[in-house]
Amino acid sequence: MGRIAAAFYPQPVIVRTSDFKTNEYARLLGGKEFEPEEENPMLGFRGASRYYHPGYAEGFALECTALARVRKDMGLSNVKVMIPFCRTVEEGKKVIETMRAHGLAQGQDGLVFDGYSIGSNDLTQLTLGLDRDSGTVARLFDENNPAVKRLIEDAIRAAQRAGKPIGICGQAPSDFPEFAEWLVELGIDSISLNPDTAIKTALAIAKVEAGPIHRAIA
């Protein structure tokens, strides 16, 4: 984390905290001793819900310790934190308080919790009601579905009205350059891309990107 943050300093480097699902943790050495069995791990004990729960609180404390060391001891305050799969505003508040207890206070040394990241893979699953890990229905997964795109557009517009930055993580911008172009036309602030498609997609975006607003490609 420190090496990457130093390489890009003072530009912001966004670090997403852990988002393993219970079945993924269970496959790690010793994982079965700690993880509950869930019928649908995609919708279960993952992301922000783990951070303040007694079953993972010690693990998240280690994540916070690492982040604090990079930001404070190494002086790399350009590291920002993304909290994945945060289900509710109340849950977000609990995570903020948990982070504060571990030395990561909101607003201190530029640390904020005031933007949005669209997880388009999860959004598509929740919108279409399918489990992408299921080989039976995975063929129906489609981030270009009109319902999914409508929700993405609504989220971007809402963030803009609130004056907050919004980005997107997901497969679609890497797989479909026209999807990335559409996001830029909507005014999204950042797009995460796979390394093997970053240059190609960035060139496609450059053709449609215009105006004084700076858009970052992460």
Cβ(161)–Cβ(176) below 8 Å = no
Answer with the residue of higher pLDDT: 212 or 206.
Answer: 206
pLDDT at 174: 84
Amino acid identity, position 74: M
Alpha-carbon separation of residue 45 from 5, 21, 75, 97, 135 (angstroms): 29, 7, 33, 19, 21
Q: What's the rounded mean pLDDT across residues 75-87?
A: 94
CA angle 118-47-161, nearest 5°? 30
pLDDT at 210: 56
pLDDT at 217: 43
Q: What's the rounded mean pLDDT across residues 8-34?
A: 93
Q: What's the rounded mean pLDDT across residues 165-170?
A: 90
Cβ(163)–Cβ(141) below 8 Å = no
Q: What's the rounded mean pLDDT across residues 22-51?
A: 93
Residue 212 has pLDDT above 50, yes or no: no
Using CA atoms, how far apart are residues 108 and 99, in angstroms rounded to an integer? 12
Question: What is the average pLDDT value for the chain, to the nearest integer?
Answer: 89
pLDDT at 94: 96
Answer with the residue of higher pLDDT: 214 or 33.
Answer: 33
Q: Is 191 helix (H, G, I), strand (E, B) or coil?
A: strand
Using CA atoms, how far apart are residues 156 and 24, in angstroms rounded to an integer? 31
* Burial status of residue 76 (CB atoms within 10 A of its CB: 0-12, 13-18, 19 or more): buried
Tell whether the torsion through CA atoms of 88, 90, 93 and 95 is positive or negative.
negative
Using CA atoms, how far apart are residues 12 and 80, in angstroms rounded to an integer? 7
Percentage, residues of the chain above pLDDT 70: 95
Using CA atoms, how far apart are residues 48 and 91, in angstroms rounded to an integer? 7
Q: What's the rounded mean pLDDT across residues 113-136?
A: 89
Least confident of 89-103, 144-158, 174-188: 174-188
pLDDT at 209: 67
Cβ(94)–Cβ(29) below 8 Å = no
Q: What's the rounded mean pLDDT across residues 96-120?
A: 91
pLDDT at 205: 76
Nearest to 83 by CA among 144, 30, 127, 18: 18
Q: How confident is the model at residue 173 (pLDDT cuts 50, 70, 90)?
A: confident
Residue 43 has pLDDT above 70, yes or no: yes
Q: How many CB atoms lie within 10 A of CB 138?
A: 12
Nearest to 191 by CA among 213, 212, 210, 166: 166
Q: What is the DSSP letter of 165?
A: -
Q: What's the rounded mean pLDDT across residues 75-94?
A: 94
